[in-house]
Structure formats: structure tokens, C-alpha cells
Amino acid sequence: MDNAAVQYLAAGDTVVQTWTVDSVDGSGTSTITITINGTDDGPVANPDTNFVNKSIVESDAPIIYGNVIAGGDNGIDSADSFAGAEQYADVADTDIDLGDTLRIVSINNQSVSLGTTAANGTQLAGLYGVLTIGADGSYAYDLDDSNPLLASLNTGEELNEVFDYTVSDSSGAESSSTLTITVNGQNQDQPPPPPPPPLELGVIKNLYVGLDELVIKNLQVGFVDATFRNGTADTSEYNTDSDPYIDQLGWGRPVSSTGQSGYTLVDNSLFSSETGSTVDVGSTFKIADFQHLNFPIAVNSSILQEVYLVLNMDIVINGVHLEKPIDLKLLMSHDETPNDSGDPRDIISLPPQMITVNMDGFDYDFHVLGFRDVDGNLVDAIYTNENAVNDFEIVGSFTSSSENPQVLDSVSGTVGVGNDDVVTWADTSSEYGTLTVSEDGSYEYILNGDIKNVLDVGENLVDSFEYTVTNQNGSTISTLEINISGYQNIYGSSGDDSLTGTSANEYLTGAAGDDVLNGAGGEDVLVGGPGNDILTGGLGADVFKWVAGDEGVGATTDTVTDFNQSSGSYDPSEGDILDLSDLLVGLDSSGMTLAEALDASFLTITSDGTDTSIVADVDGAAAGTTTQTIVLQGVDLTNGGEFSSAEVIESLISNNNLVVD
């Protein structure tokens, strides 16, 4: 077999070849099987080159950029070229083993942290400038305009400096090569080329929206305390169901075979049982069917003037019974018009009314909206046709008057590296929420209440806003993306709770006490709250979230039992997230990587060889008075001490397993 045909095999890979051969005397056949075992061939690093023109040193942004692993054409603006200048195209670093991933481990014998890029990688001062390189091979090189050797460098002259880098594959095999930067001289009377724009990086924020499950049961609706003109001699009242209220109300002496005028009311059977039925918060639902039998009656016989509609029902919100049932008594007025007038239709009024109830600190508003006609229109007064049966529904709704979900953050620092960024926003209007912005990049996004009320569990909406970042290096257009996701709320109490989800996407909140939360199936959000909580995400990509007030003075420990381990072993691609964005305050990463800003001040990560412990200092003061300890059970993120706390933090961030802002 051609050796080149199997060089792609990595360590642990095999290829089996089988041949069947016949004996020369025709007596039989035999099978020959050859197993080829792959080995780690190691990477091959190839030399890289790039150049920069002296005359553009007035910019304080990276002048040139490239990638020593990927090779290819370097990130040089075409305007940077001049007579005699060469455009470099580098050969990529390779590893013949199929599927092997390469990363930079050192530059000039200085280590490069896992998960870094040119925006937050290792900085190294060279002879004529500063090189920043990330583990992914991307780099940026910025000339030092204070270097006197550059001032005297004329057109046609050049200076070179060489950086030695080492690349490693996933098995730890290494190869080294060089990155050569050539500085080309250019007289100052030549017009400088334009600098490259800031790096284009969008911003993605997740907005987790907890949705309530609301059950109505034991509904009772009926009439009481009717008032008639011309006495009550010609009236009738009947109760046709099991509640104590009147369901059929009649009045007047009939003048035809159609009978009396009157009302009939039929409770919505979905809500009248002990089990009841679920309604969506924000949706409109039928309370009862209503009929007006508008038939001719004799002059001076009994006529309805007004009647009270009684409505009571039990409410269950997210599995918890409301302590007191809703009990309303609503006035309905009746205008019996003469049949010889311009408009003989009768008029019945039921003005909208609202009552607010509270559950676990959250307000819910129950609205009686009035009538709904056959065309679906909501009205608080109806006009009923003479000599006809007029059908309507009495309808209501529940809404949540609690604070709408919001995101408060900034897009500054996500493009370029300067502190002089000016952010200009395009159209900030939205059908989903309200965005308030500033030119320093800060913004506040608040989800509209009517959107929250109709959002379904498992539904995902995306709100996108375009913005332009301008600094001395140019302008870059990018996008802020708000991902809005609906989750079914499951609330705990002030005591010790055990909450278990289902296969749906759920938002489990333990509140106070020492709670046990299990998301089971689905993609869940778990918030233990104050206390020592045990959190299990279960199947799906789950978010373990801590909010302001969850921390405590002294030993407050939450344990996550299956962080990215639903398959049985640790795999960051499962997508579980530790969300500390609402817990940490005062985080400032100016002049350093985010991992450097977090390490030791805000987050300290250690391992006992089995579990990983994360101690979060809420304000970064390292005073130890406001801390939250998080134990990741069954996983050693330090790999036996091989990775430092900062490297673990950087890996969590780069794999999208840690959110801090």
C-alpha cells in the first residue's frame, strides 16, 4: 500500500486491508488481513513573513495582522503596497493526521494561553514594535513610532525582525518556525496609506425569559341581584348548573310564541372542574357564553334595568395555589329600547375591570375585558338585534405586571483596541423591545411586556441592531444581536425546595433555602438563589445562573453535579454555561484580557483532583466578605494542575461556557 495513502491516520486510528488468495495447485483459498495502526506524525510549522510601511506609524492600532497557522495572504490593505514592495502569501502550518487541531504554545519562549486570539493574546516587545499573538495563530504587529531607527529609514531601505514560534497538535507534538516582519522605509513626503479599520466583531447577548403556567379551576359564574322596572311579576330566574348563581334570567309578558326576553349564561367547562385548564399569560380566554334573547314583550310589563355578574375561581400559578380565590361582582346595565325608535336594538354594558393578585412577590393582573362578538371583536357594550337570539362571549385575560426582562451592557471594546471608539447606532426601533443607546457603546434593552406575555416556551426570537464603531483607524459596521428565549417558570419557596423539570425548556428558581434543582430534559436555566444549593442540568445545554443577592457572608456553596457531563465525561461542546453576569460588579478589563481581569480578583479556580472549585468575589476586592463558591462535581478543569486559574478561565470563556458581562 502507498505509504502516503495512510499518513492521515492519527494515533488510535486503524485501517484494515484484507486479500483473498488462491493456492497455485488449486487446492483452496486463504485470507490475508493487514491492520495498519496510525501514529502521531506531529505538526509541520512553515516560515511566515509580513511587512509594514514606516509612514503609517502615527496610528496606535495594530498596523498589520495575519495568522501563522493558517498562512495565506496576510491582512495587508492593498493601499499599503508601493513600488518594489512584495505581497506575501505564506504556506500554512500542517499536520497530516486527519482532524488534528493546531495551536500556538509559545512565542520567543514565552507561553501563549489556550483559547486566545490577536485581540487578547500574548504581547511581546520586538526590536521595532509590539507583537500580539493568540493560540489560534492570529497576530497583530504595531510599530513603535518612538524608535529612533525608524525615523531615519528611507524609501528603499528595510529593517527585519524575527520571532520564533512553536505550534502544537492535540497530542502535544510540537514544531517550530519563524515569523519575519519587514519594516519598509518610506519618505515622509509620500502620502501615507490609510490604516485598516477596527476588527469586526459582533456582540451576541442572551435574554432568558421565564414564562408562567397559570391554571384556572373551580370557575363559577352567574347572575345575582337583578333590578327590574315595572315590578317583578313578569320575571323568571333559573340555576342550570351546580354553582349557587342564576344562569337564566327572563322578563316581560310575551307578545308572540318566542317567549320572554332574557339572558342565558353557560360557564366555560374547561375551567369549572377541580382540575381546571391552563391559560397563557397575556392571552384572551372565554369565561362564559352569553346570550340575549331579544323578543317583543308587552308594554308596562317587567323590564330588566341592571344585574350583577358574579365570577369566582381558583388560580394556580407555576404549581402554587393562590391563597385566596378571585371573587368579583360586576355590574351589567341593560337599556331596553322602544321597538318604534330609529334603532330598536337593546344595549348591554359590561365595563372592563381588573384585579391584581400577588404570588411570591410577583404581581398578576386579572382583566374582565367585556364581550367578544362572533367576529372576534372585544367590546364593553353590545347592541342586540330585535326578535333574535344574540350570541356573545364574556372574556378575560391574565397579564404579569412584574418587571420586564432586560439587558444592560456595552458594545465598547468589542471592536478595535483603542479607548477613543465612538459608537453610532442605526435604526434602534424594534417590534420586540425598547433599545436605549449611547455613543460610548452602552445600551439598555427592555423586552416589551406584550411580547413577553405571548412568548411560548421553547420559542426563540432574535432582535438585531446595527452600529458603527469609529476611531482613528477607520469605521466598522457590526451588529448587536439579542437572543430572546422562552422558558417555563418553576418557582421554589422561602424554604428548602426540591424542583424537577420536564422535557420542556424551564426556568427553575430555588429562591431562599437549601434547594435541589434538576432540569431533567430540555435546555434549562437554573437559579439556586441564596443558600447551599445542588444543581443538575440534565440533558440539553443548560444555563447555571447566579444573580445579585445569591452570594453570602461566609461559606455559601452551590454544587453543579453535571457541568457539561450529560454524556458521562466532560465535554465543553455540550454547551452548559456558568452565567455570573448578574453576580459580578465593577469588572473592568481595560488594558488586559478578560481572563486576566477575572483571575484572582473576581474568580479563583482550584481543584482537588476530582472536583473544580470556583470562588467568586462579587466586587473583586478579594476581601472575602461577599463570595459565592461554585463546585463543579466530577470534573478537574485544571487537568491535575497543568492549567492555571487564568488558563481555565480563558478556556471557559473561549468555549462559551462562562458568561461574566
Query: In degrees rounded to 5, what are phi and psi of residue 269?
Result: -65, -20
Query: Does some domain include residue 543?
Result: yes
**Alpha-carbon span 19 to 34, nearest angstrom:** 9
Query: Does some domain include residue 219?
Result: yes
> Do 230 and 358 belong together in one domain?
yes
> Do 390 and 243 belong together in one domain?
yes
pLDDT band at 246 (very low <50, low <70, confident <90, very high): very high
> Do 265 and 318 belong together in one domain?
yes
Residue range 373-414, pLDDT digits in tens: 999 999 999 999 999 999 999 999 988 766 788 888 887 654
Query: Does some domain include residue 373?
Result: yes
Which residues sit opposite 346 in a β-bridge?
A: 384
**Alpha-carbon span 67 to 138, nearest angstrom:** 4
**Alpha-carbon span 75 to 51, nearest angstrom:** 10
pLDDT of residue 61: 43
Which strands make up the sheet holding 557-560, listed edge to edge? 498-500, 516-518, 534-536, 557-560, 627-632, 612-617, 603-607
Q: Which amino acid is at 633?
A: Q
pLDDT of residue 75: 46
Q: Which long-range contacts (CB under 8 A, 24 or more apart) does 120-124 make?
A: 120/593, 120/594, 120/595, 121/593, 124/163
Mean pLDDT across the chain: 82
Query: Does some domain include residue 324?
Result: yes
> Do 396 and 409 belong together in one domain?
no
Percent of the chain topping pLDDT 90: 34
Which strands make up the sheet holding 138-143, listed edge to edge? 64-67, 138-143, 129-133, 122-125
- State which residues form the domain around 533: 495-659
- Residues 131-145 have a mean pLDDT of 87
> Do 573 and 619 belong together in one domain?
yes
Picking from 355, 380, 400, the residue at the C-terminal end of a domain is: 400
**Alpha-carbon span 111 to 345, nearest angstrom:** 87
Q: What is the pTM of this model?
A: 0.56
Query: Does some domain include residue 89?
Result: yes
Q: What does DSSP say about strands 433-437 and 442-447: parallel, antiparallel, or unpaired?
A: antiparallel
- For 2-121, strand residue ranges (E) read 14-22, 29-37, 48-53, 64-67, 72-73, 89-90, 103-107, 110-111
> Do 138 and 286 belong together in one domain?
no
Q: Could you tell me the three cell numbers for 440?
A: 460610548
> Do 641 and 510 belong together in one domain?
yes
Judged by average pLDDT, the poorest of 225-229, 255-259, 266-270, 621-625 is 621-625
Residue range 610-655, pLDDT digits in tens: 999 998 888 777 655 567 889 999 999 988 888 888 889 888 888 8
> Do 409 and 472 belong together in one domain?
yes
pLDDT of residue 104: 92
> Do 537 and 464 belong together in one domain?
no
The H-or-E segment that residue 228 falls in is strand 213-229
> Do 416 and 382 belong together in one domain?
no
Judged by average pLDDT, the poorest of 57-61, 119-123, 550-554 is 57-61
CATH number, position 429:
2.60.40
- Residues 59-71 have a mean pLDDT of 71
Q: Which long-range contacts (CB under 8 A, 24 or more apart) does 95-99 make?
A: 95/41, 95/42, 95/43, 95/44, 95/169, 96/7, 96/8, 96/41, 96/44, 97/8, 97/9, 97/10, 97/11, 97/38, 97/40, 97/41, 97/169, 98/8, 98/9, 98/10, 98/13, 99/10
- Residues 438-459 have a mean pLDDT of 86
Q: Could you tell me the three cell numbers for 311?
A: 365570577
> Do 25 and 158 belong together in one domain?
no
- Residues 336-353 have a mean pLDDT of 84
In this predicted structure, the answer to whether residue 266 has a pLDDT above a threshold of 70 is: yes
Query: Does some domain include residue 194?
Result: no
Per-residue buried b or exposed e for 343-363, using 16+ beta carbons within 10 Å of the residue's own CB: ebbbebbbeebeeebebeebe
Q: Which amino acid is at 498?
A: S
In the chain, how many domains are there? 5
